[in-house]
Amino acid sequence: MEQNSPEKIQGDSVKKNLSFQFIYQVLILVLPLVLAPYLTRTLGDTALGVYSYSYSIGQIFVVLANLGISKYGQRIIAEKKGNVIELRKVYWSLFTVHAVVSAFVFAAYMVFAFACGGNDRVVFLLQGFYVLSAFFDITWFYYGIEKFNGVVIRNTIVKAAEFVLIFLFVKSPDDLWKYTLIMALSILLGMVVLLPPTFKYVKPIRFSFADCKMQISPLMVLFIASVATLLFTFFDKTLLGIFSTKENVAYYEYSNKIVLVPRTIATVISTVMYSRACVFISRNELSEAKKYRTFSLLFIYFISFASIFGLLSVGDLFVNIYYGESFLECVGIINMLSSTILIVALADVVRTQILIPMHKDKEYMIITIISAVLNVAVSMLLLGPLGVYGVVIGSILSETISLVLISLICRKQIDWKEAFVLAVPFVIIGIAMYFSVRLVTLFISDSLFTLLIEVLVGAFVYISLSAVYLLFIYKDKETIRNIIRNLLLKFRRKKK
């Protein structure tokens, strides 16, 4: 072993990783919302439609290129990071398999783009940079060794540059190729800059074909689950586009964009905790794994119930101001889809902190396929009589079934009665926030100012009551107090 190679890679703390990942997810979700009004006015619906369609095709090829490596790679890196030799062998064999597959997929995409791009061939070819980014995607390695800061800092800089370049160069529908180039290159650059620092942790090492071969089977299982998830994501809009109106497609998509923001934030905790859960379960440290799951549930309940009751209380005014009166149909859709914030986040905790760390990959694959099939079946059945709401019900039901099935498989590892009791205070606090916000509407008329007041009142009530509960009533309040003390201490030190 080289003298410069560390014997063991020490990951960053959960608090540090959670902070970085939380900030980054907020950034990548908020920037598109800020850009949306500008792009709809400069590029227009036709150009944006071409971009969205070409991007969705590119995303299919990216999923094929990634070969399920996100979950599997992160898990195996987390399990091997205590032994640098094993870690290097696993990393380079996995990287090789991924690189070979990605290269073939990239070549296939470029042939497809050239042959089937039609009048939009230039846009499809430029999306090739996005597909090529899969070749360099090694975020799974950094997440596996619990070093989130490098990924977040580099990609934040790239995202900021992307934001500026769009305002500088995208001025009309004729600039669609510029917009596509900026977006695709920023994704590629965000992946490329992560590659050189990996040599600090995993210097090249000799490995055999057998090392590569042993990675293929588990990759394929999670790959099938990834494809099922992709179909799950895209099929809703496809069904609406075929059997309903284009307006319903827009209502569903733009409602989803709003709900996606808190839903993604609520699942940040699972991304951060996944690697640590893999380590705890591989070492049979079940009490530690449970402690982190409880912390995850607290985080999820805090974010989810704030988001659900927040959307229910201000959704109508928000949609009217942000999207306009023509999109008021989104209010009912958002109210229904808001339930998925909690459902998806809970399923993600069980999936990433129990199911996959326990190597139940086949069960995960089967559950994902069942959920995808159920979503399609229910959506098609209800689409005729209920329109867009039939698809919404299909999505909610399939996500719920996924949570139930995962919970049944992992029933010995998680106490849902305890989890339910943990949620009750946040439900009560959420209801209190809802009525306090609705009270505001009795005294002032609808306007942007009213929306701001409602948000501020709701945030104040929810955060204040949550602080009282967590610091003075919650059974493990000392842990919460210690976390806050440590954060304040670090802040004071930085200030000095």
Q: Identify whether residues 10 and 153 lie together within a single domain.
A: yes
For the cut 90, the answer to whether the pLDDT of residue 185 exceeds it is yes
Give the C-alpha separation, 353 to 277, whole Å: 5
Whether 105 is covered by a domain: the verdict is: yes
pLDDT band at residue 232, thresholds of 50, 70 and 90? low
Range of the domain at 13: 1-220
Establish if 496 belongs to a structural domain: no
DSSP at 355: I
pLDDT of residue 493: 60
> Would you say residue 246 has pLDDT above 90?
no
Mean pLDDT for 214-238 is 79
Angle between helices 209-243 and 69-80 (to 10 degrees): 140
Q: Is 127 part of a structural domain of the chain?
A: yes
- 420-456 pLDDT tens trace: 999 999 999 999 999 999 998 887 777 888 899 999 9
Domain stop point among 220, 254, 278: 220
> What would the pLDDT profile of 59-106 be if each residue is shown by its tens digit?
889 988 988 888 888 999 998 888 888 889 999 999 999 999 999 999
Asked whether residue 9 is domain-assigned, the answer is yes
Q: Among 69-73, 147-151, 287-291, name the one with the lowest average pLDDT.
A: 147-151
Look over the chain and give the mean of its residue pLDDT values, rounded to a whole number.
Answer: 86
Question: What is the pLDDT averaged over residues 111-121?
Answer: 90
User: Does 494 map to a domain?
Assistant: no
Residues in the chain: 496
Name the band, by pLDDT with cuts 50, 70 and 90, for residue 8.
low
Q: What is the pLDDT of residue 3?
A: 41
Q: In Å, how far are 112, 268, 370 from 348, measured between CA atoms?
A: 34, 10, 16
Residue 218 pLDDT > 90? no
- pTM above threshold 0.85: no
14 within domain boundaries: yes
Domain contains 358: yes
Q: What is the pLDDT of residue 491?
A: 56
- Report the C-alpha dihedral over residues 285, 291, 292, 297, rounded to 10 degrees: 140
Q: At 184, is the pLDDT very low, low, confident or very high (cuts 50, 70, 90)?
A: very high
Q: Collect all residues with Cβ–Cβ distance below 8 Å to 228 and sequence separation of at least 6.
A: 365, 368, 369, 371, 372
Query: Which pLDDT does position 105 carry in this prediction?
Result: 95
Domain membership flag for residue 152: yes
Shared-domain flag, residues 420 and 292: yes
Least confident among 2-11, 365-374, 403-412, 449-458? 2-11
Cα 294 from Cα 259, distance rounded (Å): 24
Task: Place 169 in a pLDDT band, splitting at 50, 70 and 90.
Answer: very high
- For residue 443, the model assigns a pLDDT of 78
Mean pLDDT across the stretch 397-410? Answer: 94
- Model confidence at 242: pLDDT above 80: no
Asked if 64 and 107 touch (Cβ cutoff 8 Å), the reply is no
Same domain for 170 and 22, yes or no, is yes
198 and 237 both lie in a single domain: no
Handedness of CA 260, 376, 49, 229 (dihedral sign): positive
Weakest-pLDDT range from 18-22, 198-202, 215-219, 432-436: 18-22
Say yes or no: 175 and 243 in one domain: no
Same structural domain, 148 and 121: yes
The percent of residues above 70 in pLDDT, for the chain, comes to: 93
Min mean pLDDT across 58-62, 162-166, 235-239, 263-267 is at 235-239
Distance CA 75, CA 271 (A): 11
pLDDT in tens, 126-146: 999 999 999 999 999 998 988
* Separation of alpha carbons 89 and 68, rounded Å: 19
Q: Are 246 and 196 members of one domain?
A: no
Burial (0-12, 13-18, 19+ Cβ within 10 Å), 46: exposed
Amino acid at 23: I
Domain boundary among 220, 244, 260: 220
Residues 22, 48, single domain; the answer is yes
- Indicate if 158 and 242 belong to the same structural domain: no
Give the residue from 189, 220, 251 where a domain finishes: 220
pLDDT at 1: 38
The pLDDT value recorded for residue 327 is 77
Looking at the structure, do residues 211 and 255 belong to the same domain, yes or no?
Answer: no
How many domains would you assign to the chain? 2
Q: Are residues 91 and 26 in the same domain?
A: yes
Pair 19, 123 in one domain: yes
Highest mean pLDDT among 249-253, 312-316, 325-329, 483-487: 312-316
